């Protein structure tokens, strides 16, 4: 199935002014409903706000098509999703029979955003809230492509949907991961660091950066060892508790 040949039950493409107006209306509605969503950075997003987000986009852009076609679709906020700003997940019982569909947004990414501008999917937006919506729009298009065609990816067909509905011209964003944000402050995998633990100062090597850093500290009786037989203890340390050593 191609978008060029199949009739669509909603208008495509939309004029740029129309896209901006509808997005602004949805943003204003969400901010009126959820005070935490309006703070900088975003301090919280209620579950019913996420479902309202889905309903408003479906109504304003698709005339309710997605709810009718994929009624099980729901939106969640995950703080364990740290490698992407959003994901669309779905499972099929059989071809054309969707058993589960979820737009999962990363609270870790989106609730760290403060002052814009932010570049996402070929657009530049000014606020964390607008960035939140543009991330959602990308995943919304994945759900829509599955509803229309039974599968999704970052093909020309997907981009025609994302561009026609929301003005997206690309499928990438420049929002910093935890690792990239840490690197901007000079903290990298392999960095030697110091941190406090039980009123003692410990020094070690960073081996992983996520929501926290994994730091290996030399210890004669440590549970971990390297190829040379040197032994280490492992610590999980908040990034802001680390001091980088030269």
Per-residue pLDDT of 157-210, as tens digits, reads: 999 999 999 999 999 877 777 777 777 778 999 999 999 999 899 999 999 988
Identify the CATH assignment for 179-244 out of 3.40.50, 1.20.950, 1.10.1760, 2.30.30.
2.30.30
Distances (CA, A) of 188 to 48, 174, 185, 242: 38, 19, 9, 11
Question: What is the number of residues in the chain?
Answer: 246
Q: Which residue has better confidence, 114 or 10?
A: 10
pLDDT, average across residues 124-151: 95
CA dist 139 and 81 (Å) reads 14
Instruction: Tell whether the model's pLDDT for residue 39 goes beyond 80.
Output: yes
Distances (CA, A) of 79 to 83, 108, 163: 11, 5, 28
Give residue-wise pLDDT tens across range 101-125: 999 999 988 888 888 899 999 999 9
CB 140, CB 148: distance < 8 Å: no
CB 196, CB 242: distance < 8 Å: no
Stretch(es) of the chain classified as CATH 2.30.30: 179-244
CB 36, CB 42: distance < 8 Å: yes
Q: Which residue has better confidence, 221 or 175?
A: 221
Residue 36 — very low, low, confident or very high, per pLDDT cuts 50/70/90?
very high
Instruction: Tell whether the model's pLDDT for residue 91 goes beyond 80.
Output: yes
Query: 141 CB contacts (<8 Å, ≥6 apart)?
Result: 158, 161, 162, 165, 166, 168
């Amino acid at each position: 199935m191609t978008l060029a040949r199949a009739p669509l039950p909603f208008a495509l493409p939309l004029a740029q002014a129309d896209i901006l107006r509808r997005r602004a209306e949805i943003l204003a509605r969400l901010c009126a409903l959820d005070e935490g969503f309006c703070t900088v950075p975003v301090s919280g997003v209620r579950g019913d706000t996420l479902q309202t987000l889905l309903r408003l986009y479906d109504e304003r852009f698709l005339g309710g098509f997605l709810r009718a076609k994929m009624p099980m679709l729901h939106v969640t906020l995950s703080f364990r999703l740290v490698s992407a700003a959003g994901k669309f997940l779905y499972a099929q019982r059989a071809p054309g029979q969707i058993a589960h569909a979820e737009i999962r947004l990363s609270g870790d990414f989106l609730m760290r955003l403060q002052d814009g501008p932010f570049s996402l999917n070929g657009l530049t937006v000014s606020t964390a809230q607008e960035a939140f919506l543009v991330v959602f729009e990308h995943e919304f298009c994945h759900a829509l492509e599955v509803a229309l065609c039974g599968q999704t990816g970052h093909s020309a067909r997907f981009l025609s949907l994302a561009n026609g509905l929301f003005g997206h011209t690309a499928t990438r964003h420049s929002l910093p991961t935890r690792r990239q944000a840490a690197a901007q402050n000079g903290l990298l995998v392999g960095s030697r660091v110091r941190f406090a633990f039980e009123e003692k100062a410990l020094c070690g090597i960073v081996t992983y950066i996520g929501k926290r850093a994994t730091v290996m500290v030399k210890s004669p009786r440590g549970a971990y060892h390297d190829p040379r037989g040197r032994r280490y203890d492992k610590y999980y340390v908040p990034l802001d508790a680390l001091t980088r050593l030269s």
